[in-house]
Amino acid sequence: MACVTNISNFVNGSITYNGTRYDTIALAKWVSYQSWRKSGGKNGLPVALIIAQWGFEHGWDLADLRSTLNPAFQRSACGYSGTYDNSRPSGRNLVFSSLKDGFSAYAKLLIEGYMHVRYAYSDVGGNAKGIDEAVKALKLGYYTKYSGPATSYCSTQSFALKSDATKRIWAEDPYNGMENTIKSSGNTCLNTLIYIQKTDPNVYGLTNLY
């Protein structure tokens, strides 16, 4: 699966934790599968979008992901175990205590705190068009056709997720160009992952959240 070198190294790379190797793709499939379970089989998050969010946050370099175990630089541990390394930039200084906590916290925050993203992907039938809608929803922090409940997951504020007035923004950098990066004909290592994982990828040590 061809890709630009740094993207290929990230997508096809791995994290070794406590002597166990975890492939990036397998971890993203686990998050996608959890989103599928949470939705009751109605919708979910595509594997490509999950990996792309990690890649954009980490500059397509696995070194920082390996050291922080924080896949998309979330700012709160959301009930999981983590500490703050104040030698790191603000907003990127949360370091999780374990791989399980880091990826579980990410999955819960994305799935329960940003529910509009999976609705946006599925409402148009998924695939490349779904990627466009899902990335737009992630960038804007809302989706006008969202029909799910409001959320306050990992926040004291409630987000209706339907308009600019009730948006929930993940990052300071709104992932400009993410959809084109995923769909590029030169990045087959990413666009072959535009699907929802509907079977258990059986990642060692990671149990179902739902």
Report the pLDDT value the prediction gives residue 11, as an integer from 0 to 100: 97
Return the SS3 of 125. Answer: coil
pLDDT band at 109 (very low <50, low <70, confident <90, very high): very high
Can you read off the two tokens belonging to residue 163? 């308009």
Residues 79-99, mean pLDDT to the nearest whole number: 96
pTM above 0.95, yes or no: yes
Residue spans of alpha helices (H) in 42-193: 47-58, 62-68, 99-108, 115-123, 127-140, 178-183, 188-191
Q: How buried is 147 (Cβ within 10 angstroms: 0-12 exposed, 13-18 middle, 19+ buried)?
A: exposed
* Residue 1, pLDDT above cutoff 80: no
CA 204/CA 137 separation, integer angstroms: 31
Report the pLDDT value the prediction gives residue 187, as an integer from 0 to 100: 96
CA 63/CA 180 separation, integer angstroms: 24
Percentage of the chain exceeding pLDDT 90: 96
At 153-195, the pLDDT tens digits run: 999 999 999 999 999 999 877 899 999 999 999 999 999 999 9
Report the pLDDT value the prediction gives residue 174, as an integer from 0 to 100: 80
At 112-162, the pLDDT tens digits run: 999 999 999 999 999 999 999 999 999 999 999 999 999 999 999 999 999
